[in-house]
Amino acid sequence: MEHYLVSARKYRPSTFETVVGQQALTATLKNAITSGRLAHAYLFCGSRGVGKTSCARIFAKTINCTNRTPDGEACNECESCRQFNENRSLNIIELDAASNNSVDDIRDLMNQVVVPPTHGRYRVFIIDEVHMLSSAAFNAFLKTLEEPPAHAIFILATTEKHKILPTILSRCQIYDFNRITISDMVAHMMKVAATEGYTAEPAALSVIAKKADGAMRDALSIFDQVAASTRGNITYQATIENLNVLDHSYYSRLVDAFVNSDVATALTIYKEIRDKGFDSQFFINGLGQYMRDLAMASSPTTLTLVDATDEIRAEMAKRAATLHPTFFYRAMDLCNSADFNFRQATNKQFLIELTLIKLCQQLSPSSDSSGADEGHLKPLESGAATTPQAAQTAPAPAAARPAATFAPQTPAQTAPQQPATFRRPAQMAPKAEACHEAPAPYMAGSLSLGNLRAGTSTSAQTADAPSETPRAPEKRSKTFTDADIERVWSTTVALSQLGPMLTSLLNATLPVRQGENDLVIQVPSEVQEGFVAAKLPAIQRSIRDALENDSIRVSVVVCQMELPKNLWTDDRVLEDIISAHPGVKHLIDKFKMRRT
């Protein structure tokens, strides 16, 4: 029976080309070998499982190779390469400083340094976990490290560079190894799966890569574990069950509950997570990380900061576009506070549940600081609700008007006219040069509510006046002013049942009047444009009834808008301060201040 070898050892890199995720660093080492510019001491530092010791061995084999390839790789055919591959080379000496960290161990190593190589030009001394050496051992090593024989090269490897003496650091060329990205690990595991004859879903390998936390060796170890459990059929569902990973779908469902202010659903999802055996602190940390990733995905410039595959990044970017950045920041702050207070909390479950309730209230229509509502949530008004302001502007009873008709608008009717002057809140005034209308703006048809809104049936009207001949609908055409629009706009938004996110957005602005009866709603993104367009008929009906004018046409376009100051980010606030007081920037530069 063939001896089984774990993937981390079986697929350990043997050339610079096979090193995963360190292309820039390996290219530098190959160039140094090709040009003959070799230093006498190197320090490879980085987190576990990123290839430090593997690169040290490849470097040692390559510099002694007598027949290197044109691209600077070892040939694996010469005598020196064969000795190395068979683990019998006398030119490569490895020392584990974690267990050989005394002065005597270093002195024994120094005695070997003076011995010249039997084959090849160099003897390479690889000291792993060099930060574990004692201070006395470091001091004994200093002189030899600074002036070694011409045939000796030292390669030190460590995961904790800050523990190494500055006198050692100053004598070495330092190479920092990067954490391996999820996409690189997934690509490498796909190759391993193909070689081994396994079937693997990319989503499953992404879960493994994320759990490995940037370490390729850890990823291959987890890969072996899942492959053994699933008998080579590595599926997403089997992976999250085998590794006891909290599926991101739970976090996605929680965000839906937060947006809809649905406390009951959020607490129910949390109970499901606890029933599966997940620790509450692990859960709240994962939720904070998910909100952070959503915040990063909301902008193309920060999308690369999301440590995930391209497919997951695209999915998160699509979801993040429907939410305001302020929501992410407040959510991250609440999750961070819950994690900070978790150890001190007597009732830890209550702490997490209270945090989830606060998250559900982030987009609530109730004020959270003014105290005007005495701490109670205001109920969301339905489309049939009538506020005192709406009652003053309500249309005449349905019995006095004929039945409703639907008259679609022709292109000539919907053509935008010259914009008229309209008074808007100063903080929400759009930038004229940044606004752009869609090729075909969303417009609502002319639908007068009439008897349908009042609930009066046609049969009842026929019983009251059986001899009357149906008359043509009377079209309301009451004139209105810009002040009238401003007066009825908040009531119109409330009656349109847009949801808390769009209600908050539209309440912060006013429609732009174009011509006599055309109103244009401006939104900052195409995603919000689509949501508003779906509710456009309801908005148009409400504003026609409030202003008693059936000729009003409402459309929606995308426009770059200036957010109100209470929604500004810290960077935007700083820009505003610097623009008003230029001396502040000079003060920041002079004292090298930075925002924490």
For domain 182-242, the CATH class is mainly alpha
The token pair at 288 is 């904070």
Over residues 147-202, the pLDDT tens digits come to: 888 888 899 999 888 888 888 888 888 999 988 888 888 999 999 999 888 888 88
pLDDT category at 49 given cuts 50, 70, 90 is confident
Report the CATH number of the 7-176 domain: 3.40.50.300
Block residue for tokens 């080379």: 89
Query: What's the pLDDT at 47?
Result: 87
CATH architecture of 248-360: Up-down Bundle (1.20)
pLDDT class for 393, splitting at 50, 70, 90? very low
What per-residue confidence (pLDDT) applies to 564? 58
Q: Which residue has the higher pLDDT, 144 or 155?
A: 155
Least confident of 58-72, 265-279, 563-577: 563-577
Q: Which of 281, 212, 220, 283 is nearest to 247 (CA)?
A: 283
Question: Which residue in 517, 545, 535 sits closest to 452, CA to CA?
Answer: 545
Sign (positive or negative) of CA dihedral 50, 54, 58, 60: positive
In this predicted structure, the answer to whether residue 478 has a pLDDT above a threshold of 50 is yes
The proportion of the chain whose per-residue pLDDT surpasses 90, expressed as a percent, equals 9
414 vs 510: which has the higher pLDDT: 510
Q: Are 487 and 518 in contact (CB under 8 A)?
A: no
At 467, the pLDDT band (50, 70, 90 cuts) reads: very low
Q: Which tokens go with 108?
A: 């024994």
Place of tokens 């019995």: 399
Region of poorest pLDDT, from 52-61, 330-339, 369-378: 369-378
Secondary structure in 3-state letters for 276-342: CCCCHHHHHHHHHHHHHHHHHHCCCCCHHHCCCCHHHHHHHHHHHCCCCHHHHHHHHHHHHHHHHHC
pLDDT digits (tens, 9 = 90+) for 206-232: 888 888 888 888 899 999 988 888 888
The rounded distance, in Å, linking the Cα atoms of 142 and 140 is 6
Three-class SS of residue 517? coil
Is-above-0.75 flag for pTM? no
Residue ranges, CATH 1.10.8.60, the chain: 182-242
Q: For residue 45, give every residue at least 6 positions away whose Cβ sits within 8 Å of its Cβ, in sequence order, or none.
A: 52, 157, 158, 159, 161, 174, 175, 176, 177
Higher pLDDT, 424 or 292: 292
Instruction: Enumerate the CATH 1.20.272.10 domain ranges in the chain, comma separated.
Output: 248-360
The C-alpha atoms of residue 406 and residue 415 are separated, in whole angstroms, by 19
- Which tens digit of pLDDT belongs to each residue from 57-112? 999 888 888 888 888 888 888 888 888 888 888 888 888 888 887 888 888 888 88
Q: What mean pLDDT, rounded, does the chain reach? A: 77
126: helix, strand or coil: strand
Q: What is the pLDDT of residue 355?
A: 92
336 band by pLDDT with thresholds 50, 70 and 90: very high
**Structure token pair of residue 248:** 């991101």
End-to-end CA distance of the chain: 60
Ranges of CATH 3.40.50.300 domains, the chain: 7-176
Q: What per-residue confidence (pLDDT) applies to 453? A: 39
Quick one: pLDDT at residue 267? 92
Half-sphere exposure of 57 (CA within 13 A, CB side): 20
| Of 257 and 436, the one with more pLDDT | 257
Instruction: Specify the higher pLDDT residue, 405 or 184.
Output: 184
Name, in order, each residue with C-beta under 8 angstroms of 232's C-beta and a sequence gap of 6 or more. Answer: 196, 197, 198, 199
CA distance 52 to 64: 19
What pLDDT does residue 395 have? Answer: 43
Q: What is the pLDDT averaged over residues 241-250?
A: 82
The beta-carbon contacts of 467-473 under 8 Å, at least 24 apart in sequence, are 470/402, 471/402, 472/402, 473/401, 473/402, 473/403, 473/404, 473/405, 473/448
The distance from CA 381 to its chain's CA centroid, rounded to whole angstroms, is: 33
| Residue 38 confidence class, pLDDT cut points 50, 70, 90 | confident
Name the 3-class secondary structure at 581.
coil
